[in-house]
Homo-oligomer: A and B are copies of this chain.
Amino acid sequence: MATLTCANSRVLNSSLASRIMSADEAAALINFGTRIGMSGFTGSGYPKAVPLALARRISDANLRGQKAQVSIFTGASTGPELDGALAMAGGIQLRLPYQSDPETRKRINAGEMEYMDIHLGHVAQYVEYGFLGKMDWALIEVTAILEDGRLVPSSSVGNNRTWIDQAEKVILEVNAWQPSELEGMHDIYYGMQPPPYRQPIPLVHPGQRIGTPYLHLDPEKVAAVVLTDSPDRNSAFKAPDESSRRIAGHILEFLEWEVKSGRVPPSLLPLQSGVGNIANAVLLGLLEGKFENLTSYTEVIQDGMIELLRSGKLTCASATAFSLSPQMLAQVNAEMANFRDRIVLRPQEISNHSELIRRLGVIGMNGMIEADIYGNVNSTHVMGSRIQNGIGGSGDFARNGYLAIFMAPSTAQKGSISTIVPMVSHVDHTEHDVGVIVSEQGLADLRGLSPRQRAKLIIDRCSHPDYRSLLHDYQERAERLSFGKHTPHLLHESLSWHERYVRTGRMRPHDE
Protein backbone atom coordinates (compact mmCIF):
# COMPACT_ATOMS: atom_id res chain seq x y z
CA MET A 1 0.00 0.00 0.00
CA ALA A 2 2.79 2.43 0.95
CA THR A 3 4.56 2.10 -2.39
CA LEU A 4 1.32 2.65 -4.22
CA THR A 5 0.34 5.84 -2.42
CA CYS A 6 3.85 7.25 -2.29
CA ALA A 7 3.12 8.23 -5.81
CA ASN A 8 0.76 10.80 -4.33
CA SER A 9 2.74 13.97 -4.93
CA ARG A 10 1.46 15.53 -1.71
CA VAL A 11 3.25 13.14 0.66
CA LEU A 12 6.93 13.54 -0.13
CA ASN A 13 8.31 12.16 3.11
CA SER A 14 8.76 8.42 2.68
CA SER A 15 8.58 7.59 6.36
CA LEU A 16 5.23 9.33 6.68
CA ALA A 17 4.07 7.91 3.36
CA SER A 18 4.53 4.49 4.88
CA ARG A 19 1.85 5.38 7.41
CA ILE A 20 -0.82 6.08 4.80
CA MET A 21 -3.99 4.18 5.57
CA SER A 22 -7.73 4.44 5.09
CA ALA A 23 -9.90 6.77 7.16
CA ASP A 24 -11.56 3.78 8.81
CA GLU A 25 -8.19 2.32 9.78
CA ALA A 26 -7.10 5.66 11.20
CA ALA A 27 -10.37 6.19 13.08
CA ALA A 28 -9.97 2.72 14.61
CA LEU A 29 -6.81 3.94 16.37
CA ILE A 30 -8.75 6.49 18.41
CA ASN A 31 -9.98 5.34 21.81
CA PHE A 32 -13.29 6.57 23.12
CA GLY A 33 -13.07 9.09 25.97
CA THR A 34 -10.07 10.85 24.44
CA ARG A 35 -9.52 14.54 23.70
CA ILE A 36 -8.93 15.36 20.07
CA GLY A 37 -7.64 18.67 18.73
CA MET A 38 -8.84 19.06 15.16
CA SER A 39 -8.05 21.54 12.44
CA GLY A 40 -10.78 23.73 10.99
CA PHE A 41 -11.83 27.36 11.14
CA THR A 42 -15.09 28.73 9.67
CA GLY A 43 -15.56 25.70 7.48
CA SER A 44 -12.00 25.79 6.12
CA GLY A 45 -9.25 23.24 6.49
CA TYR A 46 -11.09 20.79 8.72
CA PRO A 47 -10.44 17.03 8.42
CA LYS A 48 -13.07 15.47 6.22
CA ALA A 49 -12.61 11.69 6.28
CA VAL A 50 -11.52 10.50 9.72
CA PRO A 51 -14.25 12.34 11.68
CA LEU A 52 -16.86 10.67 9.45
CA ALA A 53 -15.27 7.29 9.99
CA LEU A 54 -15.09 7.98 13.72
CA ALA A 55 -18.78 8.91 13.73
CA ARG A 56 -19.57 5.56 12.10
CA ARG A 57 -17.56 3.73 14.76
CA ILE A 58 -19.38 5.65 17.49
CA SER A 59 -22.78 4.88 15.97
CA ASP A 60 -21.88 1.19 15.81
CA ALA A 61 -20.75 1.25 19.44
CA ASN A 62 -23.94 3.01 20.47
CA LEU A 63 -25.99 0.35 18.70
CA ARG A 64 -24.14 -2.21 20.76
CA GLY A 65 -25.14 -0.27 23.86
CA GLN A 66 -21.65 1.05 24.52
CA LYS A 67 -21.29 4.69 25.60
CA ALA A 68 -18.85 6.05 23.03
CA GLN A 69 -17.80 9.68 23.01
CA VAL A 70 -14.80 11.91 22.44
CA SER A 71 -14.10 15.56 23.25
CA ILE A 72 -13.58 17.74 20.19
CA PHE A 73 -11.54 20.93 20.23
CA THR A 74 -11.03 22.86 16.99
CA GLY A 75 -10.06 26.25 15.67
CA ALA A 76 -13.63 27.41 15.22
CA SER A 77 -16.58 26.07 13.19
CA THR A 78 -16.04 23.16 10.84
CA GLY A 79 -18.31 21.30 8.38
CA PRO A 80 -21.04 18.70 8.32
CA GLU A 81 -18.51 15.87 7.92
CA LEU A 82 -17.04 16.79 11.31
CA ASP A 83 -19.43 18.55 13.69
CA GLY A 84 -22.53 17.37 11.92
CA ALA A 85 -21.59 13.70 11.71
CA LEU A 86 -20.16 13.43 15.22
CA ALA A 87 -23.07 15.29 16.82
CA MET A 88 -25.59 13.18 14.91
CA ALA A 89 -23.90 10.07 16.29
CA GLY A 90 -24.14 11.53 19.80
CA GLY A 91 -20.39 11.18 19.86
CA ILE A 92 -19.27 14.49 21.36
CA GLN A 93 -18.67 14.72 25.09
CA LEU A 94 -17.27 18.27 25.26
CA ARG A 95 -17.06 20.64 22.33
CA LEU A 96 -15.10 23.89 22.21
CA PRO A 97 -14.36 26.72 21.36
CA TYR A 98 -16.99 27.59 18.68
CA GLN A 99 -19.56 25.85 16.49
CA SER A 100 -22.14 26.82 13.93
CA ASP A 101 -23.42 23.43 12.85
CA PRO A 102 -27.23 22.95 12.97
CA GLU A 103 -27.06 19.43 14.43
CA THR A 104 -24.46 20.41 17.03
CA ARG A 105 -26.51 23.43 18.02
CA LYS A 106 -29.63 21.28 18.36
CA ARG A 107 -27.87 18.79 20.63
CA ILE A 108 -26.36 21.49 22.82
CA ASN A 109 -29.68 23.27 23.23
CA ALA A 110 -31.43 20.01 24.01
CA GLY A 111 -29.02 19.61 26.91
CA GLU A 112 -27.50 16.50 25.33
CA MET A 113 -24.00 17.83 24.72
CA GLU A 114 -21.56 19.94 26.74
CA TYR A 115 -20.23 23.00 24.98
CA MET A 116 -17.74 25.52 26.29
CA ASP A 117 -17.77 28.84 24.50
CA ILE A 118 -14.28 30.32 24.71
CA HIS A 119 -12.46 33.29 23.18
CA LEU A 120 -10.74 32.03 20.03
CA GLY A 121 -7.55 33.82 21.02
CA HIS A 122 -7.40 32.00 24.36
CA VAL A 123 -7.71 28.37 23.27
CA ALA A 124 -4.05 27.62 22.58
CA GLN A 125 -2.77 28.90 25.91
CA TYR A 126 -5.72 27.33 27.73
CA VAL A 127 -4.55 23.94 26.44
CA GLU A 128 -0.86 24.68 26.90
CA TYR A 129 -1.51 25.72 30.50
CA GLY A 130 -3.04 22.29 31.05
CA PHE A 131 -6.48 23.70 31.88
CA LEU A 132 -8.22 21.14 29.67
CA GLY A 133 -6.10 18.14 30.56
CA LYS A 134 -3.78 16.14 28.35
CA MET A 135 -4.44 16.19 24.59
CA ASP A 136 -4.56 12.67 23.21
CA TRP A 137 -4.89 13.25 19.49
CA ALA A 138 -4.31 15.91 16.86
CA LEU A 139 -6.28 15.36 13.67
CA ILE A 140 -5.07 17.90 11.15
CA GLU A 141 -5.79 18.55 7.49
CA VAL A 142 -2.75 19.71 5.55
CA THR A 143 -2.09 20.60 1.92
CA ALA A 144 1.11 18.58 1.63
CA ILE A 145 3.93 16.88 3.53
CA LEU A 146 7.40 17.95 2.42
CA GLU A 147 10.34 15.59 2.03
CA ASP A 148 11.80 16.63 5.37
CA GLY A 149 8.47 16.08 7.11
CA ARG A 150 7.40 19.70 7.45
CA LEU A 151 3.76 20.35 6.69
CA VAL A 152 2.20 22.80 4.24
CA PRO A 153 -0.88 24.01 6.14
CA SER A 154 -4.32 23.96 4.65
CA SER A 155 -6.88 26.73 4.06
CA SER A 156 -6.91 27.53 7.76
CA VAL A 157 -4.27 27.49 10.48
CA GLY A 158 -6.43 27.73 13.61
CA ASN A 159 -4.89 25.94 16.58
CA ASN A 160 -2.97 23.41 14.49
CA ARG A 161 0.45 24.30 15.87
CA THR A 162 -0.85 23.79 19.38
CA TRP A 163 -2.69 20.54 18.66
CA ILE A 164 0.37 19.05 16.95
CA ASP A 165 2.72 20.17 19.72
CA GLN A 166 0.47 19.15 22.59
CA ALA A 167 -1.08 15.89 21.39
CA GLU A 168 0.42 12.52 22.09
CA LYS A 169 -0.39 11.18 18.63
CA VAL A 170 -1.11 12.86 15.31
CA ILE A 171 -3.27 11.86 12.35
CA LEU A 172 -2.78 13.88 9.18
CA GLU A 173 -5.31 14.21 6.39
CA VAL A 174 -3.58 15.31 3.18
CA ASN A 175 -6.26 16.92 1.05
CA ALA A 176 -5.45 17.06 -2.65
CA TRP A 177 -8.40 19.42 -3.16
CA GLN A 178 -6.51 22.19 -1.34
CA PRO A 179 -4.53 24.22 -3.91
CA SER A 180 -0.80 23.57 -3.75
CA GLU A 181 -0.42 27.31 -4.29
CA LEU A 182 -1.18 27.75 -0.58
CA GLU A 183 2.47 26.96 0.10
CA GLY A 184 4.18 30.09 1.35
CA MET A 185 0.98 31.88 2.47
CA HIS A 186 1.24 30.86 6.10
CA ASP A 187 3.29 32.30 8.90
CA ILE A 188 3.61 29.95 11.86
CA TYR A 189 5.15 31.61 14.90
CA TYR A 190 7.18 29.28 17.11
CA GLY A 191 8.35 31.90 19.62
CA MET A 192 5.61 31.44 22.21
CA GLN A 193 6.73 30.35 25.66
CA PRO A 194 4.57 29.76 28.71
CA PRO A 195 4.83 32.40 31.45
CA PRO A 196 7.05 33.41 33.21
CA TYR A 197 9.31 33.08 30.15
CA ARG A 198 7.27 34.97 27.59
CA GLN A 199 8.88 37.59 25.41
CA PRO A 200 7.22 40.33 23.36
CA ILE A 201 5.75 39.07 20.09
CA PRO A 202 7.73 41.01 17.48
CA LEU A 203 4.81 41.89 15.19
CA VAL A 204 4.19 45.59 14.53
CA HIS A 205 2.42 45.55 11.15
CA PRO A 206 -0.49 43.41 9.88
CA GLY A 207 1.46 42.16 6.86
CA GLN A 208 4.65 41.30 8.73
CA ARG A 209 5.96 37.72 8.80
CA ILE A 210 7.52 36.60 12.06
CA GLY A 211 7.63 32.80 11.64
CA THR A 212 7.89 30.07 9.05
CA PRO A 213 5.44 28.98 6.33
CA TYR A 214 5.38 25.40 7.63
CA LEU A 215 4.09 23.43 10.58
CA HIS A 216 6.77 21.36 12.29
CA LEU A 217 6.10 18.01 13.84
CA ASP A 218 7.86 15.14 15.46
CA PRO A 219 7.36 12.37 12.85
CA GLU A 220 7.38 9.78 15.62
CA LYS A 221 4.02 11.12 16.75
CA VAL A 222 2.30 10.45 13.44
CA ALA A 223 0.04 7.42 13.75
CA ALA A 224 -1.67 7.73 10.40
CA VAL A 225 -1.73 9.66 7.16
CA VAL A 226 -5.02 9.69 5.27
CA LEU A 227 -5.42 10.91 1.70
CA THR A 228 -8.50 12.95 0.84
CA ASP A 229 -9.76 14.99 -2.06
CA SER A 230 -12.78 16.87 -0.67
CA PRO A 231 -13.87 20.50 -0.81
CA ASP A 232 -14.14 22.83 2.17
CA ARG A 233 -17.64 23.87 3.21
CA ASN A 234 -17.41 26.84 0.82
CA SER A 235 -20.66 28.60 0.19
CA ALA A 236 -21.64 30.90 -2.62
CA PHE A 237 -21.35 34.63 -2.12
CA LYS A 238 -24.63 36.39 -1.41
CA ALA A 239 -25.01 40.02 -2.43
CA PRO A 240 -25.71 42.26 0.58
CA ASP A 241 -29.36 43.09 1.23
CA GLU A 242 -30.74 46.58 1.78
CA SER A 243 -30.39 46.44 5.55
CA SER A 244 -26.74 45.39 5.38
CA ARG A 245 -25.98 48.10 2.87
CA ARG A 246 -27.49 50.71 5.16
CA ILE A 247 -25.51 49.44 8.17
CA ALA A 248 -22.36 49.54 6.06
CA GLY A 249 -23.24 53.08 4.97
CA HIS A 250 -23.50 54.29 8.57
CA ILE A 251 -20.16 52.71 9.45
CA LEU A 252 -18.37 54.21 6.47
CA GLU A 253 -19.79 57.65 7.24
CA PHE A 254 -18.65 57.27 10.85
CA LEU A 255 -15.13 56.25 9.80
CA GLU A 256 -14.93 59.26 7.47
CA TRP A 257 -15.91 61.49 10.37
CA GLU A 258 -13.24 59.92 12.56
CA VAL A 259 -10.61 60.67 9.92
CA LYS A 260 -11.91 64.22 9.49
CA SER A 261 -11.75 64.71 13.27
CA GLY A 262 -8.11 63.65 13.29
CA ARG A 263 -8.69 60.67 15.54
CA VAL A 264 -7.85 58.08 12.89
CA PRO A 265 -5.24 58.26 10.09
CA PRO A 266 -6.57 58.62 6.49
CA SER A 267 -5.67 54.97 5.83
CA LEU A 268 -7.67 54.08 8.98
CA LEU A 269 -6.29 51.46 11.34
CA PRO A 270 -6.19 47.69 10.72
CA LEU A 271 -9.71 46.42 10.18
CA GLN A 272 -11.25 43.29 11.64
CA SER A 273 -14.61 42.15 10.42
CA GLY A 274 -16.72 39.18 11.38
CA VAL A 275 -18.11 36.77 8.84
CA GLY A 276 -21.35 37.26 6.92
CA ASN A 277 -23.60 39.52 5.00
CA ILE A 278 -23.06 42.78 6.90
CA ALA A 279 -19.30 42.35 7.08
CA ASN A 280 -19.19 41.79 3.33
CA ALA A 281 -21.34 44.86 2.79
CA VAL A 282 -18.84 46.96 4.75
CA LEU A 283 -15.97 45.57 2.67
CA LEU A 284 -17.84 46.32 -0.55
CA GLY A 285 -18.57 49.80 0.76
CA LEU A 286 -14.85 50.33 1.30
CA LEU A 287 -14.30 49.25 -2.30
CA GLU A 288 -16.44 52.14 -3.48
CA GLY A 289 -15.23 54.55 -0.78
CA LYS A 290 -12.27 56.89 -0.73
CA PHE A 291 -10.01 55.25 1.84
CA GLU A 292 -6.63 54.10 0.47
CA ASN A 293 -3.75 52.00 1.82
CA LEU A 294 -6.00 50.05 4.14
CA THR A 295 -4.80 47.06 6.14
CA SER A 296 -6.66 44.22 7.75
CA TYR A 297 -5.87 42.21 10.88
CA THR A 298 -8.73 39.80 11.14
CA GLU A 299 -9.76 36.15 11.43
CA VAL A 300 -11.08 35.22 8.01
CA ILE A 301 -10.40 36.27 4.40
CA GLN A 302 -13.77 36.60 2.69
CA ASP A 303 -14.62 37.45 -0.92
CA GLY A 304 -14.94 41.15 -0.17
CA MET A 305 -11.41 41.29 1.15
CA ILE A 306 -10.03 39.74 -2.02
CA GLU A 307 -11.84 42.41 -4.04
CA LEU A 308 -10.28 45.08 -1.83
CA LEU A 309 -6.81 43.58 -2.30
CA ARG A 310 -7.32 43.45 -6.05
CA SER A 311 -8.38 47.06 -6.18
CA GLY A 312 -5.20 48.05 -4.36
CA LYS A 313 -7.19 49.80 -1.63
CA LEU A 314 -6.22 47.08 0.83
CA THR A 315 -2.45 46.65 0.97
CA CYS A 316 -2.38 43.53 3.11
CA ALA A 317 -4.60 41.16 5.02
CA SER A 318 -3.74 38.97 7.98
CA ALA A 319 -6.07 36.18 9.10
CA THR A 320 -6.12 32.60 10.29
CA ALA A 321 -8.38 31.18 7.55
CA PHE A 322 -9.72 31.59 4.04
CA SER A 323 -13.48 31.44 3.69
CA LEU A 324 -14.10 32.08 0.00
CA SER A 325 -16.92 31.26 -2.38
CA PRO A 326 -16.07 28.46 -4.87
CA GLN A 327 -15.91 31.02 -7.66
CA MET A 328 -13.56 33.35 -5.78
CA LEU A 329 -11.41 30.42 -4.69
CA ALA A 330 -10.80 29.46 -8.32
CA GLN A 331 -9.79 33.02 -9.12
CA VAL A 332 -7.48 33.31 -6.11
CA ASN A 333 -5.74 30.06 -7.02
CA ALA A 334 -5.14 31.37 -10.50
CA GLU A 335 -3.66 34.63 -9.20
CA MET A 336 -1.94 33.23 -6.14
CA ALA A 337 1.42 34.77 -6.97
CA ASN A 338 -0.19 38.22 -6.69
CA PHE A 339 -1.61 37.53 -3.30
CA ARG A 340 1.22 35.70 -1.57
CA ASP A 341 2.94 38.94 -0.54
CA ARG A 342 -0.24 40.50 0.71
CA ILE A 343 -2.07 37.72 2.54
CA VAL A 344 -0.71 36.08 5.67
CA LEU A 345 -2.43 33.15 7.40
CA ARG A 346 -1.42 32.82 11.06
CA PRO A 347 -2.25 30.65 14.06
CA GLN A 348 -5.39 31.97 15.71
CA GLU A 349 -3.50 32.67 18.91
CA ILE A 350 -1.61 35.30 16.85
CA SER A 351 -4.49 36.57 14.68
CA ASN A 352 -6.55 37.04 17.85
CA HIS A 353 -3.81 37.91 20.33
CA SER A 354 -4.65 40.68 22.79
CA GLU A 355 -1.08 42.00 22.72
CA LEU A 356 -1.16 42.45 18.95
CA ILE A 357 -4.75 43.65 18.66
CA ARG A 358 -4.03 46.40 21.17
CA ARG A 359 -0.65 47.29 19.69
CA LEU A 360 -1.99 47.55 16.14
CA GLY A 361 -5.09 49.46 17.27
CA VAL A 362 -7.50 47.23 15.38
CA ILE A 363 -10.98 48.54 14.56
CA GLY A 364 -13.26 45.60 15.30
CA MET A 365 -16.61 45.19 13.51
CA ASN A 366 -18.74 42.30 14.68
CA GLY A 367 -22.33 41.17 14.43
CA MET A 368 -24.53 40.69 17.48
CA ILE A 369 -27.79 39.07 18.51
CA GLU A 370 -28.96 41.99 20.63
CA ALA A 371 -27.82 45.06 22.53
CA ASP A 372 -29.48 46.70 25.48
CA ILE A 373 -30.15 50.38 25.96
CA TYR A 374 -27.06 50.68 28.19
CA GLY A 375 -24.69 49.24 25.61
CA ASN A 376 -24.24 45.66 26.76
CA VAL A 377 -24.06 43.20 23.86
CA ASN A 378 -25.24 39.61 23.54
CA SER A 379 -23.43 37.74 20.76
CA THR A 380 -24.29 34.17 21.62
CA HIS A 381 -27.62 33.38 23.29
CA VAL A 382 -31.12 33.56 21.80
CA MET A 383 -33.51 34.53 24.62
CA GLY A 384 -30.77 34.10 27.19
CA SER A 385 -30.57 30.32 27.11
CA ARG A 386 -30.27 29.00 23.56
CA ILE A 387 -26.75 29.11 22.09
CA GLN A 388 -26.53 30.31 18.51
CA ASN A 389 -22.84 29.85 17.57
CA GLY A 390 -20.41 31.27 20.08
CA ILE A 391 -18.42 34.36 20.98
CA GLY A 392 -15.74 33.54 18.43
CA GLY A 393 -13.11 36.24 18.21
CA SER A 394 -15.45 39.13 18.90
CA GLY A 395 -14.25 39.42 22.49
CA ASP A 396 -10.59 39.27 21.51
CA PHE A 397 -11.11 42.27 19.27
CA ALA A 398 -13.72 44.19 21.27
CA ARG A 399 -11.76 44.26 24.48
CA ASN A 400 -8.34 45.09 23.20
CA GLY A 401 -8.81 46.90 19.91
CA TYR A 402 -8.93 50.60 19.17
CA LEU A 403 -12.70 50.63 18.87
CA ALA A 404 -15.42 47.97 19.08
CA ILE A 405 -18.30 48.34 16.64
CA PHE A 406 -21.29 45.98 16.96
CA MET A 407 -23.87 45.75 14.23
CA ALA A 408 -27.19 44.08 13.44
CA PRO A 409 -30.51 44.87 11.80
CA SER A 410 -32.85 46.50 14.35
CA THR A 411 -35.32 43.60 14.23
CA ALA A 412 -35.22 39.85 13.56
CA GLN A 413 -37.80 37.18 12.71
CA LYS A 414 -39.94 39.50 10.57
CA GLY A 415 -40.11 42.13 13.25
CA SER A 416 -41.18 39.88 16.10
CA ILE A 417 -37.82 40.39 17.84
CA SER A 418 -36.25 43.74 18.63
CA THR A 419 -32.47 43.79 18.54
CA ILE A 420 -32.47 46.68 21.03
CA VAL A 421 -33.92 45.55 24.34
CA PRO A 422 -34.23 46.93 27.88
CA MET A 423 -31.71 44.42 29.19
CA VAL A 424 -29.82 41.83 27.18
CA SER A 425 -30.63 38.26 28.14
CA HIS A 426 -26.94 37.28 28.13
CA VAL A 427 -23.81 39.42 28.15
CA ASP A 428 -20.76 38.70 26.02
CA HIS A 429 -19.47 42.27 25.71
CA THR A 430 -19.98 44.51 28.71
CA GLU A 431 -20.80 48.19 28.78
CA HIS A 432 -17.07 48.74 29.36
CA ASP A 433 -16.13 47.24 26.00
CA VAL A 434 -18.68 48.46 23.49
CA GLY A 435 -17.82 51.62 21.55
CA VAL A 436 -20.38 51.89 18.78
CA ILE A 437 -23.73 50.21 18.04
CA VAL A 438 -25.16 50.26 14.52
CA SER A 439 -28.40 49.11 12.96
CA GLU A 440 -29.93 50.01 9.61
CA GLN A 441 -31.71 52.81 11.52
CA GLY A 442 -28.50 54.56 12.50
CA LEU A 443 -25.33 54.60 14.57
CA ALA A 444 -24.84 55.31 18.29
CA ASP A 445 -21.37 56.46 19.29
CA LEU A 446 -21.16 55.57 22.98
CA ARG A 447 -17.71 56.91 23.74
CA GLY A 448 -17.54 59.12 26.80
CA LEU A 449 -21.18 58.61 27.77
CA SER A 450 -22.76 57.55 31.05
CA PRO A 451 -25.33 54.72 30.98
CA ARG A 452 -28.31 57.10 30.97
CA GLN A 453 -26.83 59.14 28.12
CA ARG A 454 -26.13 55.93 26.20
CA ALA A 455 -29.73 54.77 26.63
CA LYS A 456 -31.21 57.84 24.99
CA LEU A 457 -28.79 57.63 22.08
CA ILE A 458 -29.18 53.91 21.43
CA ILE A 459 -32.97 54.09 21.49
CA ASP A 460 -33.13 57.12 19.23
CA ARG A 461 -30.48 56.05 16.77
CA CYS A 462 -30.63 52.28 16.57
CA SER A 463 -34.01 50.90 17.61
CA HIS A 464 -36.75 50.11 15.12
CA PRO A 465 -39.64 52.62 15.13
CA ASP A 466 -42.03 49.81 16.07
CA TYR A 467 -40.19 49.37 19.38
CA ARG A 468 -38.90 52.88 19.99
CA SER A 469 -41.76 54.20 22.09
CA LEU A 470 -41.81 50.99 24.16
CA LEU A 471 -38.11 51.45 24.88
CA HIS A 472 -38.56 55.12 25.74
CA ASP A 473 -41.41 54.18 28.03
CA TYR A 474 -39.28 51.59 29.84
CA GLN A 475 -36.35 53.93 30.13
CA GLU A 476 -38.41 56.86 31.43
CA ARG A 477 -40.20 54.77 34.01
CA ALA A 478 -36.91 53.18 35.04
CA GLU A 479 -35.34 56.62 35.49
CA ARG A 480 -38.14 57.48 37.88
CA LEU A 481 -38.65 54.20 39.72
CA SER A 482 -35.35 52.31 39.66
CA PHE A 483 -33.63 51.28 42.91
CA GLY A 484 -30.46 53.02 41.71
CA LYS A 485 -30.38 55.56 38.93
CA HIS A 486 -26.90 54.95 37.57
CA THR A 487 -28.19 52.17 35.28
CA PRO A 488 -31.93 52.46 35.79
CA HIS A 489 -33.83 49.16 35.57
CA LEU A 490 -37.20 47.76 36.56
CA LEU A 491 -36.16 44.23 37.41
CA HIS A 492 -39.60 42.64 37.07
CA GLU A 493 -39.78 44.00 33.54
CA SER A 494 -36.23 44.08 32.25
CA LEU A 495 -36.35 40.59 30.68
CA SER A 496 -40.11 40.58 30.02
CA TRP A 497 -39.69 41.12 26.29
CA HIS A 498 -37.69 37.90 26.01
CA GLU A 499 -40.07 36.09 28.31
CA ARG A 500 -43.01 37.21 26.17
CA TYR A 501 -41.26 36.03 23.02
CA VAL A 502 -40.69 32.58 24.48
CA ARG A 503 -44.35 32.43 25.53
CA THR A 504 -46.06 34.06 22.53
CA GLY A 505 -43.58 34.23 19.67
CA ARG A 506 -43.31 38.00 19.68
CA MET A 507 -41.62 40.55 21.91
CA ARG A 508 -44.40 43.13 21.70
CA PRO A 509 -47.51 42.77 23.87
CA HIS A 510 -50.50 41.37 21.97
CA ASP A 511 -52.71 44.35 22.65
CA GLU A 512 -50.42 46.47 20.51
Partner-B contacts on A (CB < 8 A): 94, 108-111, 114-119, 122, 126, 129-133, 194-196, 198-202, 204-205, 261-263, 265, 269-270, 295, 353-355, 358-361, 376, 381-387, 391, 395, 399-400, 402, 423, 425-432, 447-450, 452-453, 478-479, 482-489, 491-492, 494-496, 498-499, 502
Q: A427-B427, A430-B428, A452-B111 are in contact. Are A491 and B487 (CB under 8 A)?
A: no
A499 to B496, CA, bound (A): 13
Q: How far is the CA of A494 from the CA of B492 in the complex (A)?
A: 10
Collect the chain B residues with CB atoms within 8 Å of residue A431's CB. 117
- Of chain B, the residue at the smallest CB distance from A383 is B483
* A87 to B: closest C-beta gap in Å: 14
Contacting residue for A484 out of B117, B265, B361, B382, CB 8 A: B382
**Contact between A402 and B195, CB atoms less than 8 A apart:** yes
Whether A387 and B354, one on each chain, are in contact in the complex, defined by CB atoms closer than 8 angstroms, is no
Residues of chain B with a CB closer than 8 A to A355's CB: 200, 354-355, 358-359
When C-beta atoms are compared, the residue in chain B nearest to A263 turns out to be: B130
Cross-chain contact B502 with A116 (CB below 8 angstroms): no
12 sample A-B contacts, Cβ–Cβ < 8 Å, listed by A number: A109-B485, A122-B432, A198-B359, A199-B359, A200-B204, A354-B354, A382-B484, A384-B483, A384-B489, A385-B489, A427-B427, A491-B499
Give CA–CA (A387, B485) in the complex, Å: 8
The 7 closest A-B pairs by CB, nearest first: A386-B484, A195-B361, A111-B485, A200-B200, A427-B427, A114-B450, A385-B484
Cα A204 to Cα B195 with chains together (Å): 10
Which chain B residues lie closer than 8 Å to A201 at the CB level?
A: 200
- Minimum CB–CB distance from A155 to chain B (whole Å) comes to 27
Expressed in whole angstroms, the minimum distance between the Cβ of A211 and any Cβ of chain B is 16
A109-B484, A381-B484 known; 8 new pairs, CB 8 Å cut-off, are: A109-B485, A111-B485, A118-B432, A383-B491, A384-B494, A385-B489, A387-B486, A400-B400
Residues of B within 8 A of A483 (CB): 382-386, 502
Measured CB to CB, the nearest residue on chain B to A495 is: B491
Q: Least Cβ distance of A389 to chain B in Å?
A: 11
Given A354-B354, A355-B355, A427-B430, the answer on whether A487 and B130 have CB atoms closer than 8 Å is: no
CB pair B432–A430 under 8 Å, yes or no, is: no
Residues of B within 8 A of A399 (CB): 354, 395, 399
Q: How far is the CB of A406 from chain B (nearest CB, A)?
A: 14
The one of B94, B131, B432, B488 in contact with A395, judged by C-beta atoms closer than 8 angstroms, is B432
A505 to chain B, nearest CB (A): 12
A385: chain B residues within 8 A (beta carbon): 478, 482-489, 491
Instruction: Decide: A359 and B487 in contact? CB cutoff 8 A.
Output: no
Asked if A376 and B427 make an inter-chain contact with CB atoms under 8 angstroms apart, the answer reads yes
Provide the residues of chain B in CB contact with A453, threshold 8 Å: 114
Q: Which residue of B lies closest to A202 (CB)?
A: B200
Is A196 touching B265 in the complex (CB atoms < 8 A)? Answer: yes
Tell me the nearest residue of chain B to A353, going by C-beta.
B358
**B residues less than 8 Å from A196 (CB atoms):** 205, 265, 269-270, 295, 360-361
- Complex contacts, A383 vs chain B, CB 8 Å: 483-484, 491
